[in-house]
């Protein structure tokens, strides 16, 4: 066999192979065991330890449609977890581009809960249990301002209702009333919270970031500044699995669905790299 | 005056910017609150106007000079104009005075966002999978020991990032599974190098900030003249 041919696979062939590797697991889905990494467990346990009577969960949705595949399941899973624990869930955003998608995530989870509710008490009410506060630029304004007054920064919610009139905001004055801020991000918003909000107001911070951003944040987990982290779609899938196991919350698990295509995609890339290296070594031996 | 006034303003507001961290007096805190919650928001609005102005100016110039791919500048300008018009006059969800519906066809800004912007941006990002596969195949070669180590680490991290890695390495003793080794790589060598980079960067930022605040570094005023 002429192994040197492995050095010259046409890129159109690679594109077709990658397309097939992604599409087939999407059309014929299969479930894989996802396990859990320590940062994922850290985030889950931190939210589980928040006292619903005293503090709320804040989810900062700082991502754009580019990273929807990774960040959207994280956002949905975090809201699900907060509501499963009967925590008040406050959603904000530092990018105006992410606001409609954050709204979509909030409404999806509200509908999920309400479609499964057996009585009125189990229903989730927007404005009482969960709220989308919207977008106030630039990020430094809400990050520091919420240390003094959340309603002072966000005077109206996404739908234009005065935050002073919303039942969810009663008793939610500042970061003191927030058990955890989880920044769902495709960029560096977790670092902004770590840089400005945590040293000054002592608020707990966690991150849910894309796989490429995750390596930047391990240093903050090791130092204890981040209470937990979801890294990429795998982190989101682990989190969906943890919520499902403990709270049996229904609803679509998009990150779990993505594990099949991502697994096969990674295997294909590894196989291509191995083939390229086999061709390279055979060619080098022949040349010498 | 062109140098002294902006320099003076920068030094004044630059020092005010961090005094509230060291001065707990209510006057300092309140003043900083006004700066942050009022002045900064107003300045951001100016930045937005400046950004749009620059975008228009750049593309108009490119069309005038028939620069590379100048025809695409029309797409940017027309899209900007239409989206701004619909957004301002049609309302976010089509509740403005400009009609944003023809029969069952909606074109309010929310619909444009979900039906045009979201798929376009997602598609652009998804294409990375194809280009990365091709680039990895062409460039990942174990030419020497260091390249081999990089390749080995990449393999382990890639396996650790997907559940199938657990299936493939599940027969190994605990602590040697792909996910375990991947986590170790992230927590130890990766963290060590990231800390070194971050410390260096932060010291550099602090140094530059001090140079700007003390007026030593003036290139932001226009080439240091």
Provide, as residue numbers in chain A, all residues whose Cβ is less than 8 Å from the Cβ of B125: 66-67, 69
Quick check: helix, strand or coil at residue A228?
strand
How far does the CA of residue B197 sit from the closest CA of chain A (Å)?
A: 10
pLDDT in tens, A15-24: 999 999 999 9
Please give the average pLDDT of every successive group of 10 residues along chain B, which has 225 residues.
87 86 86 84 88 96 93 96 93 86 89 92 92 93 93 92 89 90 93 94 94 88 64
If you classify domain A33-252 with CATH, what class do you get? alpha beta
Instruction: Kindly state the average pLDDT of the residues A220-244.
Output: 95
State the pLDDT at residue A256. Answer: 94
Q: Do B198 and A33 touch (CB under 8 A)?
A: no
pTM: 0.90
State the pLDDT at residue A255. Answer: 95
* Domain assignments of chain A as residue spans, ordered by start: 1-30+255-288, 33-252
Of A107-121, A147-161, B15-29, the poorest mean pLDDT is in B15-29
Q: Do B33 and A15 touch (CB under 8 A)?
A: no
Bridge-based pairing of strands A130-135 and B101-102 is unpaired
pLDDT in tens, A61-98: 999 999 999 999 999 999 999 999 999 999 999 998 89
Q: Do A200 and B117 touch (CB under 8 A)?
A: no
Q: What is the ipTM of this complex?
A: 0.84
Strand spans (E) along B24-73? none
| Cβ-nearest to B138 among A216, A267, A276 | A276
How far CA A118 is from CA of A86, A114, A123, A168, B139, in Å, comes to: 16, 8, 8, 22, 57
What b/e string do you get for A23-32 counting C-beta neighbours within 10 Å, with b at 16 or more? eebeeeeeeb
Provide, as residue numbers in chain A, all residues whose Cβ is less than 8 Å from the Cβ of B126: 69
Q: Do B37 and A141 touch (CB under 8 A)?
A: yes
Integer Cα distance of A53 and A179 in angstroms:
11
Instruction: Kindly state the average pLDDT of the residues A217-242.
Output: 95
Quote helix, strand, coil % in chain B, to nearest 5: 75, 0, 25
Q: Do A269 and B155 touch (CB under 8 A)?
A: no
Question: Nearest CA to A184 among A54, A72, A55?
Answer: A72
How far CA A178 is from CA of A53, A107, A210, in Å, comes to: 11, 22, 24
């Amino acid at each position: 066999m002429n192994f040197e041919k492995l050095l010259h696979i046409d890129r159109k062939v690679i594109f077709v192979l990658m397309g097939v590797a992604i599409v087939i697991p999407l059309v014929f889905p299969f479930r894989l065991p996802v396990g859990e990494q320590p940062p994922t467990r850290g985030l889950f346990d931190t939210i589980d330890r928040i006292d619903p009577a005293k503090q709320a969960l804040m989810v900062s949705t700082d991502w754009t449609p580019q990273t929807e595949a990774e960040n959207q399941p994280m956002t949905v899973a975090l809201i699900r977890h907060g509501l499963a624990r009967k925590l008040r869930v406050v959603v904000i955003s530092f990018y105006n581009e992410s606001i409609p998608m954050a709204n979509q995530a909030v409404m999806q989870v509200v509908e999920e809960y309400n479609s499964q509710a057996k009585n009125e008490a189990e229903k989730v009410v927007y404005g009482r249990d969960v709220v989308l506060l919207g977008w106030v630029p630039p990020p430094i304004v809400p990050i520091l301002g919420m240390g003094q007054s959340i309603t002072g920064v966000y005077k109206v919610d996404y739908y234009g209702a005065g935050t002073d009139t919303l039942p969810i905001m009663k008793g939610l004055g500042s970061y003191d009333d927030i058990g955890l801020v989880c920044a769902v991000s495709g960029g560096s918003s977790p670092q902004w919270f770590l840089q400005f909000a945590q040293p000054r107001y002592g608020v707990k911070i966690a991150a849910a970031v894309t796989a490429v951003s995750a390596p930047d944040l391990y240093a903050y987990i090791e130092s204890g500044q981040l209470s937990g982290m979801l890294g990429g779609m795998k982190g989101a899938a682990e989190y969906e699995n943890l919520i499902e196991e403990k709270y049996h919350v229904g609803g679509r698990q998009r990150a779990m669905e993505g594990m099949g295509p991502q697994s096969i995609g990674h295997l294909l890339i590894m196989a291509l790299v191995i083939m390229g290296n086999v061709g390279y070594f055979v060619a080098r031996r022949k040349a010498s | 005056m062109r140098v002294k006034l902006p320099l003076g303003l920068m030094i004044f507001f630059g020092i005010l910017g961090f005094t509230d961290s060291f001065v707990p007096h209510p006057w300092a805190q309140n003043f900083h609150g006004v700066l942050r919650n009022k002045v900064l928001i107003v300045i951001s609005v100016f930045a937005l106007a400046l950004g749009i102005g620059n975008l228009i100016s750049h593309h108009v110039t490119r069309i005038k000079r028939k620069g590379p791919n100048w025809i695409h500048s029309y797409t940017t300008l027309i899209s900007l104009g239409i989206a701004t018009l619909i957004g301002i006059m049609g309302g976010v969800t089509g509740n403005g005075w400009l009609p944003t519906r023809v029969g069952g066809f909606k074109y309010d800004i929310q619909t444009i966002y979900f039906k045009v912007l979201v798929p376009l941006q997602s598609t652009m990002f998804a294409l990375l999978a194809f280009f990365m596969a091709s680039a990895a195949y062409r460039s990942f070669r174990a030419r020497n020991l260091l390249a081999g180590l990089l390749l080995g680490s990449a393999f382990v991290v890639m396996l650790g990032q997907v559940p199938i890695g657990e299936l493939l390495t599940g027969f190994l003793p605990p602590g040697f599974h792909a996910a375990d080794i991947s986590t170790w790589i992230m927590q130890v060598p990766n963290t060590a190098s990231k800390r070194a980079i971050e410390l260096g960067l932060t010291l550099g930022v602090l140094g530059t900030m001090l140079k700007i605040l003390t007026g030593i570094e003036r290139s932001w005023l226009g080439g240091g003249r």
